[in-house]
Structure 1
Amino acid sequence: MIKVHGLFLVAIFSIVYSQLVNGQSRRGCQTRCGNVSIEYPFGISTDCYYAGQDSFNLTCNETTNELFAANLQVINISHSGEMRILNPRSYTCYNTTNVTEGTSYNTTLRSFSLSNKNRFTAVGCNTYAFMTTTYDNKNYSIRCLSICDSIPKENGLCTGEGCCHTSVPKGSNHFIISSSRVDREEGMFSFNPCSYAFLVEEDMFSFSPYRDLQNLRNVTEFPVVLDWSIGNQTCKQVGSTSICGQNSVCLDSTTRTGYNCKCKAGYDGNPYLQEGCRDINECTNSSPIHRHNCSGSSTCVNTMGHFLCSCPSGFDLNATANGCMRQHKPENHRSIIIVLGTTVGFMAILLVVVCIQQRMRHMKNIELRKQFFEQNGGGVLRQRLSGEGPSNVDVKIFTEEGMKEATNGYDESRILGQGGQGTVYKGILPDNSVVAIKKARLGDCSQVEQFINEVLVLSQINHRNVVKLLGCCLETEVPLLVYEFVTNGTLFDHLDGSLFNSSLTWEHRLRIAIEVAGTLAYLHSSASIPIIHRDIKTANILLDENLTAKVADFGASKLIPMNKEQLTTMVQGTLGYLDPEYFTTGLLNEKSDVYSFGVVLMELLSGQKALCFERPEYSRHLVSYFSCATKEKRLNEIIDSQVMNEYNRREIQEAALISVECTRLMGEERPKMKEVAAKLEGLKVSETKHQWSDRYTEPRVNEQLSYVETISAQGDMSSSGYASRM
């Protein structure tokens, strides 16, 4: 029997949900269209929806009993700020000679946005799916590649064989989906004539190879989750003009601008109506969620927003079991009253003394925290953030108590790494999310400026391959930075093999190089203010559980004003990665990052350290050793034996040429990061094509290579990963 698609599960969910919840709209307004409940602030006719938002005006097709928001078919709306719609899928069908038919979809969500609960999915053998999204007037691309040469045997798994899926960034309000096939083998058209690409709510699509590779064309739409909110202001900004009704609270939307309403605990109903939410009578409610827990002879008494358990005369309430127990009468009632009175009086005096002491201690702590705030650059940071243009990061301010609790009192077992500038701890926040907390070294006042610089730089960055700054704590003796937790160590750890068994394939290394190059190209060309990282190295590239690269450590980074191409600065960086021209002249520009990236690319190709005095003298400096080997066509001596094979030899040689171009002695002779990223992307496409070809052509190596000189200096000017330069 063919397994039921997630689409039909959504339809069943919609019917059941609409039967359990009565539509709560304004009086005289339509409450239902087909099987979908319509609740305010949404509505169909004038005065039935929130007038401040035209997108809440819905249309009911009386012929088909289908509900629409503009051209989007609605299947469910929740008070929590979510709407489920049906969205078409893109497809392309082939025969042995050409494309027979197909379509791509361009969808605009008006004032709604995509939820991160969706998955971008591709179905088909050798299928390449592409999705372009728009967020904050910027375009982002998502890709998915599904490979197979026969029908996969595993059901329900979407792991890249016949089916692939990937996450979707939240907040997008416009997207385009298309699909194509990488190559066309004749035998494939009998069991997989078409390639498909679509958005679908997570866990609502289960891949079945025998069914979906042949018949998915019969399913034309999939459920997609959208986020909605009221207006584009926060609860604090709208104040008393919020449309939230009685017994409800206003909550800022966590996924987009605007706010949503929620009933208070103990209340239920539509929080957007003027009459708001109504008290739940726990004493008569049969729902397991809202039913009282009074037991034994105790009686439930309903109160507004809660309930009480009452006992008859002569019985006391057992607070543990919410049952009644018989009172014990004392033999000497008067003596007990005297003892109790004396005890209560003494406790009252003691309580007053303790309260006064705590109040004094609290005031002292407040003054001390204010002092630490200014000492740690809080005032300067606030001034610089407000004067550098729009910020892409919402920097959260954490408390000292929250940081101690998250790190278990800075316990040694929570240490992730230590460097010359401080210590990084693993932290667990109250919502059980795991973070990395960077703590500066005590007594090192020079780190305050670098701390301010790192927050300032990260406030300008919004990129999936940059470690996200979640917030900071300024009220402690030394400043703390809170980052997202990246689980899989640094690229240096994986290449060195000291903490991880080196299992990085050529595909992994090429993808990591593409992600880092794309990130640097974004920093140089697409950030609101151009940024030079100034310390790119394998120790500052973190890897998550999927081996996705995350660039870290922006303490030494520089923001470049729009009217300048370079800055004169004190030289900072790491030996082996440091641009010789920058080291000599002190002039910093984007080509300094290009040089450092070239060294990282050489490490990815060779598996060797950038600078190692344990190696023979001719190979201590990786740049000169690698460049000579490339020029003299001796790459087989230096390329990591784990990565090169007969199918990827040409791509590795071309990547080696790119690394040599990046590390040329003169900065003006090096390519820009945009050009480097484009060349590496071209290698990825070339590699995919070569996996499906039995022929191989030996490439020509460019003999006109510049010999790259390296420098020698004393001391390492950097640390690594989270723990560097706070």
Structure 2
Amino acid sequence: MIYSFNNLTFFLPKQLLVEKFAYFKIPLSHIKLATNQFSHIHCIKSCIYESVYKGELSHFDRESGFSIERKNNVELPKKTVIINRIERYKKIPKDFFAEIEILTSCKHPNLLTFFGFCDEDFEMILVFECDFKVTLYDYLRSTSNRTNLTWEKRMRICLDIAQGLMHLHNVEGKPSMIHHVIQSENVFLDENWTAKISNFRTWLSSTMDPPRARLRHVVDDIYSLGILLFQILSGRLDYDPHASKAQCHFDEGKIKNMVDPRIMEEAKECSFTPKERPNEDSLSTFFKIAHQCVVETPNERPRLEDVIKSLEKALHFQVSKSLMLNIVFFLGILTLYP
């Protein structure tokens, strides 16, 4: 088998590669049990390249590969996982193991953690730990009984996503990771609303011009990020940043018309403490960078470093305003009740 890594090519038999990553191998029987034989009930996404499942993997001894037997009728802990079942013939074995090589060392607080793999019966499966609460898609599409995320929290989610992408694009000493399509379905939110990206892929180009091909994939990621920023701003999955209305709102100084109404409504309803109403400078900074991400000409899109700086600036405007409002509010309370 040909094994590619860091632009070098090695000829290794498959058995040696399997042994190299034996610690991370998960028996197919465990994965089938976690997904009820790959039932559609457990499937959260499906396309021509892969099917993605959510399941509970029974705890087992990774050293031996055997399940730990339950003792004294005590229920064994289970781990919630995301299971990426790659469609047959969509990835050749050498690329599959090259990807595992990178995933074992690709650790970041805004990325789902790689947990293991399976290559039995012609299956190619990647498994990730997933202590998430909901996906961003679940949050945006829900219209009832939904926890409202303030403008500050939404910006922090955007920063999480951008920083996760930044890490993927710059994994030190490894081939670049490219997300390909960063969508709300691929962003998980844990109990603290920290965003974690899933479904990212190793970039292993076979084109004649790898640097140019890599750059194209990077700017595509930035474009997808821009779409996501507008969806988080508006609270709508179908929001179209290319619509003339969006630009008109910005040109006329009516950016607030693009903001998810729930944020504004919450600010109006609270009379006891000042709520985090979106700051105009924060909104303007956010809109400008989101709009740059989705311009039609790829080479006019910003670098991820610039996206992160702009999001941090927008967050600073919001946090500074909220702090001042709270100071003024509590000083007023002290004046009323000396």
Whether these two folds match at TM > 0.5 is yes
Q: For 2:230, which of 596, 602, 609 is the aligned residue?
A: 602
Shift of 1:436: 2.0
| Alignment match, 1:521 | 166
Shift of 1:388: 6.3
| Alignment match, 2:44 | 417
1:639 counterpart = 2:259: yes
Shift of 1:494: 0.5
- In 2, Cα distance between the equivalents of 1:433 and 1:598? 36
Shift of 1:664: 1.9
Aligned ranges 1:661-672 → 2 under 5 Å: 661-672=292-303
1:466 counterpart = 2:91: no
Q: For 1:479, which of 124, 138, 141 is the aligned residue?
A: 124
Q: For 1:622, which of 241, 265, 277 is the aligned residue?
A: 241
- The change in CA–CA distance for 1:423 and 1:465 in structure 2 (over 3 A counts) is closer
Q: For 1:445, which of 69, 85, 88 is the aligned residue?
A: 88
- The change in CA–CA distance for 1:624 and 1:456 in structure 2 (over 3 A counts) is farther
Q: For 2:288, which of 652, 657, 660 is the aligned residue?
A: 657
2:46 maps to amino acid: G
Q: For 1:684, which of 309, 315, 331 is the aligned residue?
A: 315
Cα deviation per residue 1:364-406 (whole Å; 9 max; x = unaligned)?
A: xxxxxxxxxxxxxxx56xx2369769xxx99701123333454
Shift of 1:627: 3.1
1:543 maps to amino acid: L
Shift of 1:600: 0.8
CA contact (8 A) 1:603 1:609 kept: yes
- The change in CA–CA distance for 1:437 and 1:545 in structure 2 (over 3 A counts) is same
- In 2, Cα distance between the equivalents of 1:477 and 1:689? 55
Cα deviation per residue 1:227-260 (whole Å; 9 max; x = unaligned)?
A: xxxxxxxxxxxxxxxxxxxxxxxxxxxxxxxxxx
Shift of 1:653: 2.2
Which protein is richer in strand relative to its size?
Answer: 1
SS in 2 for 1:480: strand
Higher relative contact order (CA 8 A, sep 6+): 2
| Alignment match, 1:192 | none
Shift of 1:638: 1.9
SS in 2 for 1:601: helix
- In 1, Cα distance between the equivalents of 2:44 and 2:103? 21
Aligned ranges 1:683-722 → 2 under 5 Å: 683-694=314-325
SS in 2 for 1:542: strand
| Alignment match, 1:430 | 59
Q: Tell me whether 463-472 or 397-406 shows the greater mean CA deviation.
A: 397-406
- In 1, Cα distance between the equivalents of 2:124 and 2:104? 17
- In 2, Cα distance between the equivalents of 1:632 and 1:681? 25
2:200 maps to amino acid: F
- The change in CA–CA distance for 1:422 and 1:591 in structure 2 (over 3 A counts) is closer
2:257 maps to amino acid: E
- In 2, Cα distance between the equivalents of 1:629 and 1:495? 22
SS in 1 for 2:243: helix
Cα deviation per residue 1:482-513 (whole Å; 9 max; x = unaligned)?
A: 11023322111111116972522212211101
- The change in CA–CA distance for 1:606 and 1:449 in structure 2 (over 3 A counts) is farther
| Alignment match, 1:55 | none
CA contact (8 A) 1:395 1:470 kept: no
Q: For 2:211, which of 565, 576, 593 is the aligned residue?
A: 565
1:478 maps to amino acid: E
1:544 counterpart = 2:190: yes
1:683 maps to amino acid: A
Structure 2 residue runs of 5 or longer lacking an equivalent are: 10-20, 61-76, 268-276, 327-338
- The change in CA–CA distance for 1:384 and 1:394 in structure 2 (over 3 A counts) is farther
SS in 1 for 2:324: coil
Aligned ranges 1:246-285 → 2 under 5 Å: none
SS in 1 for 2:232: helix
1:638 maps to amino acid: M
- Say how many residue pairs are matched: 280
CA contact (8 A) 2:152 2:319 kept: no
1:533 maps to amino acid: H
1:598 maps to amino acid: G
CA contact (8 A) 2:80 2:130 kept: yes
1:622 maps to amino acid: P
1:624 maps to amino acid: A
- The change in CA–CA distance for 1:437 and 1:603 in structure 2 (over 3 A counts) is closer
Report which of the two structures shows the higher radius of gyration computed on alpha carbons.
1
CA contact (8 A) 1:437 1:482 kept: yes
Instruction: State the superposition RMSD in angstroms.
Output: 3.4
Q: TM-score, normalised by structure 1?
A: 0.35
- The change in CA–CA distance for 1:499 and 1:406 in structure 2 (over 3 A counts) is farther
Cα deviation per residue 1:454-494 (whole Å; 9 max; x = unaligned)?
A: 54653462211111121111113523221102332211111
- The change in CA–CA distance for 1:663 and 1:460 in structure 2 (over 3 A counts) is farther
- The change in CA–CA distance for 1:638 and 1:667 in structure 2 (over 3 A counts) is same
- In 2, Cα distance between the equivalents of 1:552 and 1:394? 23
- The change in CA–CA distance for 1:395 and 1:530 in structure 2 (over 3 A counts) is farther
CA contact (8 A) 1:533 1:554 kept: yes
SS in 2 for 1:523: helix
- The change in CA–CA distance for 1:506 and 1:414 in structure 2 (over 3 A counts) is same
| Alignment match, 2:28 | 400
Q: TM-score, normalised by structure 2?
A: 0.70
Shift of 1:532: 2.6
- The change in CA–CA distance for 1:595 and 1:647 in structure 2 (over 3 A counts) is closer
